């Protein structure tokens, strides 16, 4: 489902902020406060945290969905299912570590209002803060994702995104960690969905990256390959979703003789 074409800030159940989180105690409460100030309802998906992430999230005013640790990708999909079950039209995905500025959600909402189906916040502002090795890795990954997706993707690793949760639930993902975000770019673009990027600020704090330089790099390459192989299924899923439902079958009932 695309935005209805309205204007202004989302109201009611148009948009839900979904924050996948793992051990973000001490960092997540300001993120929730900034989102609620926009204002947006907030769901935190606590992916098996061993600290007070869930308690701090609830105290800050967020709904909390707790699950055993399964990776960021599974947390994102769990948040999408929760959003659909509660009647939301779209989800704003962002991390709970303070490395995204919730106020920049306005740019993503504007792109969604203009008809984008997957909006990615591209970290092109203040990139001087970005560590050199992260910058090189992001450039390489974005180049490969661009080739696989068939359209230019500047920041394939950004976790700041906006889309219809049903879109993600239809895509044939294989990954369950950070690799799901890579697959999301390729599968959505290959299926013909309108993928748009909008600039956001690159923020780096004292949070140690949860990305493993060896294992998650290997997962990234596998994700690109798996996405190319799964692209035909993503196209069929889009076609099936766009196809109108058949009319209900008519049942003839013969009247019994008196």
Residue-wise pLDDT tens digits, 83-104: 999 999 999 999 999 999 999 9
pLDDT digits (tens, 9 = 90+) for 20-58: 999 999 999 999 999 999 999 999 999 999 999 999 999
75 — pLDDT class (breaks 50, 70, 90):
very high
Report the percentage of the chain scoring pLDDT > 70: 79
According to the model, what pLDDT value does residue 6 have?
57
- Starting at the edge strand found earlier in the chain, the sheet holding 63-67 runs 63-67, 42-47, 15-21, 90-93, 161-163, 118-125, 195-201
Token look-up 């748009």 returns 196
Go through the domains of the chain in sequence order and give each one's CATH number.
15-242 (3.90.550.10)
3-state DSSP call for residue 252? Answer: coil
Which residue has 């196809």 as its token pair? 243
pLDDT score recorded for residue 252: 42
Spatial separation of the C-alpha atoms in residues 80 and 107, rounded to whole Å: 21
CA-to-CA distance for 85 and 94, rounded, in angstroms?
Answer: 20
Q: How far apart are CA 40 and CA 12, in angstroms?
A: 9
């Amino acid at each position: 489902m695309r935005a209805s074409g309205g204007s202004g800030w989302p109201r009611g159940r148009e948009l839900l902020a979904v924050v996948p989180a793992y051990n973000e105690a001490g960092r997540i409460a300001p993120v929730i406060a900034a989102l609620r100030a926009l204002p947006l309802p907030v769901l935190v998906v606590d992916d098996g945290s061993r600290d007070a992430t869930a308690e701090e999230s609830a105290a800050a005013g967020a709904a909390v969905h707790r699950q055993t640790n399964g990776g960021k990708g599974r947390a994102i999909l769990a948040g999408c299912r929760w959003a659909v079950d509660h009647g939301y039209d779209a989800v704003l995905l962002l991390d709970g570590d303070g490395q995204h500025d919730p106020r920049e959600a306005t740019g993503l909402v504007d792109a969604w209002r203009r008809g984008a189906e997957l909006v990615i916040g591209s970290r092109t502002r203040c990139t001087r803060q970005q560590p050199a090795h992260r910058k090189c890795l992001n450039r390489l990954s974005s180049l490969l994702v661009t080739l696989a997706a068939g359209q230019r993707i500047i920041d394939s690793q950004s976790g700041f995104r906006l889309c219809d949760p049903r879109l993600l639930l239809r895509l044939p993902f294989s990954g369950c960690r950070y690799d799901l975000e890579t697959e999301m770019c390729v599968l959505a673009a290959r299926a013909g969905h309108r993928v748009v990027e909008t600039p956001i600020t690159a923020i780096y704090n004292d949070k140690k990256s949860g990305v493993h330089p060896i294992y998650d790099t290997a997962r990234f390459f596998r994700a690109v390959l798996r996405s190319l192989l799964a692209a035909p299924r993503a196209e069929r899923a889009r076609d099936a979703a766009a196809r109108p439902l058949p009319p209900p079958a008519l049942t003839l009932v013969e009247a019994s003789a008196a």
